[in-house]
Structure 1
Amino acid sequence: MAPHTVIFCLLFSFPLILFLLGHGRRRRSRKLPPGPPQLPIIGNLHQLGAAPLVTLTEMAAEHGPLMFLRLGSIPTLVISSSDAAREVIRHHDLAFSGRPALFAAKKLSYGLLGVVFAPPGGYWRMARKVMMVELLSAKRVESFRKVREEEVARVVDSIREHSSSSSSLSSTIDLSKMVLSMANSIVCRAAFGEKHGGGGGGGGGVEIHRVLAEAQDVLGGFCVGDFFPWMRWIHGLDGLQARVEKVFKELDGFYNQVIEEHLKKEPSSEHVDMVHVLLRLLEDPTHRKTFSSMDHIKGLLTDIFIAGTDTSAATTIWAMTELMRNPRVMNQVQREIRYLIGEKGKVEVSDLQNLHYLKMVINETFRLHAPVPLLVPHETAETCVIGDYEIPARTRVFINAKAIGRDPLKWGNDAAEFSPERFFGKEIDFTGSYFDFVPFGVGRRICPGINFGVAAVQLILANLLYCFDWELPPGMKRDELDLEESIGITMHKKIPLCLVAKSHN
């Protein structure tokens, strides 16, 4: 939206602004956490700039790990240290477990029917149980083993074919594009069935990938109404509402097609996908009070489809980027994989449990490049007292997982360096019990898809490192390989990772 349009709308809403400012003055007597000075009406919104994550991290270095802002009319708390996160989650997890009803998220989640954006309560508890027990349990993730292995093999064959048929000048491949397509195929086959994988067409290929990209864009883009809720009407004029409605219509049409196919056909004994599981639960009398319509199924599918694809792909590419910048680590992890796998020709799921250094590489990637660096925002359900500060009800809360992962007080003076050895011999995991390392969140709102995402990253990365020796494009030096990040919910590498692959004998 153009700045002059926003200014016009603000002036148009001036009476309401005066009311809100007066309401804000009555609340200033509270002792809030420190933060930068605020401007009338917009608060600190103007300070975020083009790279909000960088700005918030720099602000926290000046104002402290518990920092209070006002982004538009929204009171906002930014948590940037493990100690602050531990205090909040251990003593106030329930009060901080709400979610703001963001404009695009509310529509695409079918009125907040997914686990990610649903408000706390009976429905959320039931939906989370379905997600954790029925869809993303360790047993269910293992049942998709064949899907992961086949999709990884498909990409390995594609890279091998490209590298053997290309001249030295045309052998560069866009690894970012390949990995994102593979991650999308894994999620589509696991969730929607064999027909919807990348190799089978039927809605699982380029078209649904385009819809996924557009959904990510509207979810992660700037939305005036999310910072000035009384201005949401403006999205009927600025085009955002039309974009969201278009994405929703395309997603809904795809879900309807998939569900109709599943209703006509019984699942095979070899592959029971997530839609089959959800349709069975819809007929279960024990779930009918809270899980009673196709919209409930679609809300959960949106969580899996949008979150599952993006985070796995982003993590794999960040890992490959860091390995290309750190040849010592690259050599060590390839030695481990190739020594243990020998002449088998590929890494299988059963091999992953013995690849300890590979797991440290992945942990280090999560530490430096949390897939969702500010996590999904929380919202306080009631006024809370944290130490000496009072946090108002309906405060939006961001946990800066990236800042926590790079805190030199916890990780040492080399916290910004890629060094997997820091995890050697340490009982550190990312399941939310270790507050210095929270790439998937903490508390009752921790990401339910950890098992699914990590399983995909491990198998993809292990095979890329086992099957190929990797080089930078001709003329490029390692220090020229950038680490610039894109802006959005998931933190992708902004410039696609393009490399030269040579088959390893």
Structure 2
Amino acid sequence: MPNFQPLFSQDILCLFIYHLQQMETFYALLASLYIIASLAFLSKILYKKHPKQNLPPGPKPWPIIGNLNLIGSIPHQSLHFLSQKYGEIMQLKFGKFPVIVASSPEMAKQFLRIHDTSFASRPALAGGKYTSYNYSDMVWAPYGPHWRQARKIYLSEVFSENKLESFKHIHIEEEHNFLSRLHSLSGKTVVLREHIFRYTLTSICRMVLSNKYFSESENENTSIVKLDELKGMLDEWFYLNGVFNIGDWIPWLSFLDLQGYVKEMKDLYKKLDRFHNYVIDDHLGRKEADKDHFVPKDVVDVLLQLAEDPNLEVKLTRDCIKALFQNLLVGGTDTSATTVEWTIHELIKQPRIIQKAKEELDRVVGRNRWVEENDSSQLPYIEAIIKESFRLHPLATFLAPHYAIEDCNVAGYDISKGTTILINTWSIGRDPNSWSEPEKFLPERFLGKEIDILGSNFALLPFGSGRRRCPGYKLGLKVVRTMLANLLHGFDWKLVEGMKVEDVCLEEEYGLTTHPKVPLQIIMEPTLPNHLY
């Protein structure tokens, strides 16, 4: 008590007020103690219902941002280095949301096979909302009826053996055009990425749309987009669908769009949507003109026909159709081209591998024809080169993120519903327990071994595994095998004057697929008889 001595009559009033205040403080203290005791009692009851979880190890999160401060410009590398400290399974917080990172074959197996059903969905990220028609495609669609129906359509109408065989003549024609263009540029500097991308884009457009729908030169005005414009849009799609957007993880900041990604996504949507509407309107026009005996000719025709089917489980809206054929365009163009590009970057640094591959091609194929699809089974060294490229430079350094649709226990750890799962295939390809000298490009490691690349060997996952495995893996492999083999078979590759082997850049440019940061410029010298080009 303070030393309070009243001197005048008004001081008595002050004393009375003071004692009232002390009584209020006492009762407030009692109330506070009661609340604390009640909360302790309730927490004890809740703990019995929801005991403390056994969470995977991981760095301590910061308030608000969680562990986003630990993610650098190359996210898979940032998380790889963290996994060296915290282990093959670790938990982080992106904003307020839990994120699990799996960095070993065993952990990948846990999520992609053993508990596949629990993690078969996708998180609702901005990329899927703004660039994929509100998650209407197959990449970002949540696990459910729409996704199952879309996958069924893809497997029956695009990637079945019969369909792939019917597309074979397109690949042969476009590959010949590709090789002829390179022949016409012999002795000149070539940015190989541009030519590979043009080949894959033209092939997939003819398969899916029956037409290229882009103009290939400045003087050609046969479409609403030029080749470079369409390529730029597809490149941007992969980039924006791979970014770590702050608004996805700290929702109350999303309206600020601090990084500008959402604005870019909306701008990209407008450009892509204009192109897609042009394609659909052209197909509808042709269908109307030929309505008496119309027969579907391509994937868009099939989708438009299915949209009229009243028995379809989930109605195919116009936006759904656009999202589904957009998936085929972006997936069928970028992934194959990127794989071949990375492979050439590695090979040109190791002439001995090129020489060994050429010897195999001369022995099996000879010098009087090009490599064909059915030659692949007799080219084990070419196959080993491709597998080694998949290992060291995976198509997606993270498999498209998985999402927990229920609580689950994985490898003894509690994973709660709503957790995002990242499978770091870049780390898995460098796992010293699975690969000797993992940092070296050594195709020989695959010779004489049956190492599956279609999802059963979790040390090598170029196409993912489980329910979400890429349905287009057959087409992708056909394109990569013949394209790479014929580039080796029909040309000698030389670096431009003044450039040394050690100057070939292996740095990465991150996105949903990760490209070489600096495109390779080389000189292509034809090596087969001229009449073959």
Same fold by TM-score greater than 0.5: yes
How far has the Cα of 1:162 moved from its partner?
1.3
What residue number does 1:284 align with?
309
Conserved? CA contact 2:401–2:420, under 8 Å = yes
Change in 2 beyond 3 A, CA 1:271/1:156: farther
How far has the Cα of 1:476 moved from its partner?
2.3
What residue number does 1:255 align with?
276
The 5-angstrom pairing of residues 192-271 of structure 1 reads 192-196=209-213, 202=223, 203=225, 205-235=227-257, 239-265=260-286
The 5-angstrom pairing of residues 349-388 of structure 1 reads 349-388=373-412
User: Larger C-alpha radius of gyration, 1 or 2?
Assistant: 2
1:178 paired to 2:228: no
Structure 1 stretch displaced more, 181-190 or 264-273: 264-273
Report the identity percentage: 37
Amino acid at match of 2:309: D
How far has the Cα of 1:270 moved from its partner?
12
Distance, in Å, in 1 between the alignment partners of 2:434 and 2:197 is: 33
1:457 paired to 2:480: yes
- 1:25-76 CA-to-partner distances (Å, cap 9, x unmatched) read x999422101122211111111112221111111111110001111122210
* SS across alignment from 2:509: coil
Of residues 83, 103, 107, the one that matches 2:126 is 103
- 1:167-223 CA-to-partner distances (Å, cap 9, x unmatched) read xxxx22111122122222222221112243675853462222222223223222342
What residue number does 1:12 align with?
none
Of residues 272, 275, 278, the one that matches 2:297 is 272
What residue number does 2:33 align with?
none
Distance, in Å, in 1 between the alignment partners of 2:97 and 2:245 is: 13
Conserved? CA contact 1:108–1:302, under 8 Å = no
- 1:142-182 CA-to-partner distances (Å, cap 9, x unmatched) read 2222222222222211211111xx5xxxx221111221222
Distance, in Å, in 1 between the alignment partners of 2:79 and 2:421 is: 12
1:189 paired to 2:235: no
Distance, in Å, in 1 between the alignment partners of 2:435 and 2:296 is: 43
Distance, in Å, in 2 between the alignment partners of 1:362 and 1:250 is: 34
* SS across alignment from 1:95: helix
The 5-angstrom pairing of residues 3-152 of structure 1 reads 29-152=52-175
Distance, in Å, in 1 between the alignment partners of 2:251 and 2:350 is: 46
Distance, in Å, in 1 between the alignment partners of 2:439 and 2:276 is: 42
* SS across alignment from 1:207: helix
Long gaps (5+) in structure 1: 1-25
Conserved? CA contact 2:296–2:302, under 8 Å = no
Distance, in Å, in 1 between the alignment partners of 2:279 and 2:270 is: 14
How far has the Cα of 1:253 moved from its partner?
1.6
Distance, in Å, in 2 between the alignment partners of 1:234 and 1:157 is: 50
Structure 1 stretch displaced more, 265-274 or 218-227: 265-274
How far has the Cα of 1:467 moved from its partner?
1.0
**TM-score of the two chains, using structure 2 as the length reference:** 0.83
Conserved? CA contact 1:466–1:504, under 8 Å = yes
What residue number does 2:326 align with?
302
* SS across alignment from 1:196: coil
How far has the Cα of 1:100 moved from its partner?
0.5
How far has the Cα of 1:98 moved from its partner?
1.4
Distance, in Å, in 2 between the alignment partners of 1:86 and 1:134 is: 30
* SS across alignment from 2:479: helix
Of residues 486, 490, 500, the one that matches 1:467 is 490
* SS across alignment from 2:397: coil
> Alignment RMSD, CA only?
2.4
Amino acid at match of 1:363: K
Conserved? CA contact 1:374–1:399, under 8 Å = yes
Conserved? CA contact 2:113–2:465, under 8 Å = no
Conserved? CA contact 2:370–2:489, under 8 Å = yes
Amino acid at match of 1:281: L
Of residues 314, 320, 323, the one that matches 2:344 is 320
- 1:356-379 CA-to-partner distances (Å, cap 9, x unmatched) read 221221111111110111110111
1:336 paired to 2:360: yes
Conserved? CA contact 2:192–2:521, under 8 Å = yes
What residue number does 2:43 align with?
none
Amino acid at match of 1:279: L
Conserved? CA contact 1:100–1:379, under 8 Å = yes
Amino acid at match of 1:396: T
How far has the Cα of 1:420 moved from its partner?
1.6
Distance, in Å, in 2 between the alignment partners of 1:227 and 1:410 is: 33
* SS across alignment from 2:311: helix
Amino acid at match of 1:244: M
Amino acid at match of 2:250: F
Amino acid at match of 1:192: L
* SS across alignment from 2:185: helix
How far has the Cα of 1:481 moved from its partner?
1.5
Number of residues of Structure 1 aligned to a counterpart in Structure 2: 472
